[in-house]
């Protein structure tokens, strides 16, 4: 019985994976980025009166939690918050957060009050203009993307989303 269920739903999942893969490859990923053009600071300083609309915004609670994590970390390497987008989740795409101590040549770096958020170039197109926050609730404590102008829908879990097709 379970085998027939797998055979019936496999084409759906295969089609969905192909569709998501096509979306990931379709945008402006084919042109090359220079490393220096990818590093951006989104800190709100007096030098930049209007922050970029495409910058990823780091909320106060996110800054506070990252500073707590950096203070509790025993290693000398400064940890950065890495945000990436993967296919999957209930709505087609999902946000993935990790702590990282290195950047890659295709990464974009956003900084606020010494806290760095790193996003790879493919994921960046899905989170332009988004706000990253840290929430501490009864059911979970986690980094979340609280607003994302690129998302047209999502799930109540707030870790998955869909984009226009």
Q: What is 57-163's CATH number?
A: 2.60.300.12
- Residue 74 in contact with residue 4, Cβ under 8 Å? no
Q: What is the pLDDT of residue 70?
A: 87
Q: What is the pTM of this model?
A: 0.64
Q: Parallel, antiparallel, or unpaired: how do β-strands 80-87 and 93-100 relate? A: antiparallel
DSSP H or E segment with residue 57: strand 57-58
Please state which of the ranges 12-21, 22-31, 126-135 shows the lowest mean pLDDT. 22-31
Q: What is the pLDDT of residues 89-148, one digit of tens each?
A: 776 788 899 999 899 999 999 999 999 999 999 999 888 899 999 998 888 899 998 888
Q: Where are the domains of the chain?
A: 57-163
pLDDT at 19 over 50: yes
Q: Please state, in angstroms and rounded to a whole number, the distance separating the CA atoms of residues 123 and 13.
A: 21
Q: Please state, in angstroms and rounded to a whole number, the distance separating the CA atoms of residues 108 and 143.
A: 18
């Amino acid at each position: 019985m379970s085998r027939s269920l797998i055979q019936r739903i496999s084409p759906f999942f295969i089609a969905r994976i192909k569709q998501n893969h096509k979306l990931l490859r379709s945008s402006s990923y084919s042109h090359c980025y220079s490393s220096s053009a990818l590093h951006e600071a989104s800190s709100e300083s007096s030098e930049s009166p209007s922050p970029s609309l495409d910058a990823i915004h780091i909320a106060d609670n996110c800054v506070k939690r990252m500073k707590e994590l950096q203070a509790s970390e025993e290693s000398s390497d400064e940890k950065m918050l890495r945000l990436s987008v993967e296919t999957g989740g209930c709505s087609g795409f999902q946000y993935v957060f990790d702590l990282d101590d290195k950047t890659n040549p295709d990464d974009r770096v956003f900084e606020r009050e010494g806290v760095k958020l790193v996003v790879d170039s493919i994921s960046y197109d899905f989170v332009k203009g988004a706000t990253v926050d840290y929430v501490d609730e009864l059911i979970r404590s986690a980094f979340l993307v609280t607003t994302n102008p690129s998302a047209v829908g999502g799930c109540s879990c707030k870790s998955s989303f869909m984009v226009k097709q």
